[in-house]
Copies of this chain bind each other. A is one copy, B any other.
């Protein structure tokens, strides 16, 4: 749980490889979200970078999604959230209390998809699996939850 996960190759370089320019706003956004191991929203980025326009934040998020550098997922109430992609193909756990996002890979999932594929009319072209969890921090009582979904 405390290994230096941040040995990911430069995200800005990945964008440049796809023909996009290295600009100050893009670098700033990437720097911010590299610090957010637990997922983020567009609004959060905007608050931390008040000089960067809202449109630019959404545009950059879109580029990062296209480059598979981040992925988009939904809280159980539908609120969108983004998360850095650390491993190639993976799925997410989302804490229903604090919104923290985790990743997991499971070979079983892929096997399952192939198995289900034969039962389903048509051809499977993709899948999305999200597990809603109560994370360790939120299970210990009277821990302030960062992003409560209570009434």
Contact = CB atoms under 8 A, between A and B. Distances in A.
Taken together, the copies of this chain in the complex come to: 2
A76 B126 contact: yes
Interface residues of A, number: 37
Contacts of A126: 76, 96, 131-132
A125 B133 contact: yes
B125 A132 contact: yes
A108 interface: yes
A71 to B, nearest CB: 12
Given A72-B78, A78-B72, A122-B93, A131 B104 contact: no
Contact of A112 (B102, B109, B121, B132): B109
Interface of A: 72, 74, 76, 78, 80, 93, 95-96, 102, 104, 106, 108-109, 112-113, 115-116, 119-136, 138-139
Given A76-B126, A106-B119, 13 more contacts: A72-B78, A106-B112, A108-B112, A109-B116, A113-B131, A120-B133, A122-B135, A123-B139, A124-B132, A127-B131, A128-B128, A128-B132, A129-B129
